[in-house]
Amino acid sequence: MSPSFIVIEGLEGAGKSSAISQLTSFIANKGHDVICTREPGGTPMSEAIRECVKHDWNERVTEETELLLMYAARSQLVENVIKPALESGTWVIGDRHDWSTIAYQGGGRGIQLEKLGALRSMTLGNFTPDLSIYLDVEPSIGLQRARGRGELDRIELAGLGFFERARTSYKELVATHSNAIEINAMQTMDKVQSDLIEKLNEWYARTQADIKVGMG
């Protein structure tokens, strides 16, 4: 089975970290080599961009600056880490990817999707995840969880309306992509975990069946 690039998406406090560790074990238990990456971040330069993006600057950060930094970090990560890993047979789990930009900079900040599309095709071409897993949480619940973890960063301070719009964008993305899974992340942790495993098993079996049909 050729390696897949699987991405976990969701608002702050959706429970991405637990889902990522569960997903990593799932893939490793199937006998695959797997690495995890995060966005923005995942290379020395992209981690520096992450610090820059999260920092609370004493000046207005324009929507365009934020957008360009996200794609700069993504380009470094995709070219230097994700593609080489996939080419060497290693599966890749991404803590956020392009949907975060569509949700946060597109939905949240209101940047037109045409502008995002132009940047995406410039930096990513037709490179897309094999599976996107969206953890759905109401912003008020997610932000409360994030606040419980400590101080909020510059983006997390954007306000409830911003996150409501980002959530709407995420839901539209899930509805328009067949290689996407939505999990209700407002349930108990046990139920979130069992839903995730159930849907992963379905996806894995389907992917393998598709490969067999392709070979037959």
Q: Which two tokens stand for residue 11?
A: 């608002």
What CA–CA distance (Å, rounded) separates 85 from 99?
A: 21
Q: C-alpha distances in angstroms, 3 versus 68, 75, 91?
A: 29, 20, 5
Residues 168-197 that bind ligand TMP (CB under 6 A): none
Of the residues 7, 49, 70, 119, which one makes contact with ligand TMP according to CB under 6 A: 70
What CA–CA distance (Å, rounded) separates 58 from 150?
A: 21
Q: Which residues of 180-205 are buried (b: 16+ CB within 10 A; e: fewer)?
A: bbbbebeeeeeebbebbeeebeebbe
DSSP 112: -
The nearer residue to ligand TMP, 12 or 136, going by C-beta atoms, is: 12
Q: Is residue 104 near ligand TMP by the rule CB under 6 A?
A: yes
Residues 111-170 that bind ligand TMP (CB under 6 A): 155-156
Minimum Å distance from CB 119 to ligand TMP? 11
Q: Is residue 101 near ligand TMP by the rule CB under 6 A?
A: yes
Which distant-in-sequence residues (6+ apart) come within 8 Å of 200 by Cβ?
Answer: 23, 26, 181
| From 36-44, 79-87, 117-125, 126-134, span contacting ligand TMP (CB under 6 A) | 36-44
Of the residues 7, 23, 26, 39, which one makes contact with ligand TMP according to CB under 6 A: 39
Minimum Å distance from CB 6 to ligand TMP? 15
Are residues 103 and 169 in contact, defined by beta-carbon separation less than 8 angstroms?
yes
Minimum Å distance from CB 210 to ligand TMP? 29
Which residues are at the interface with ligand TMP (CB under 6 A)? 12, 38-40, 70, 95-96, 100-101, 104-105, 155-156
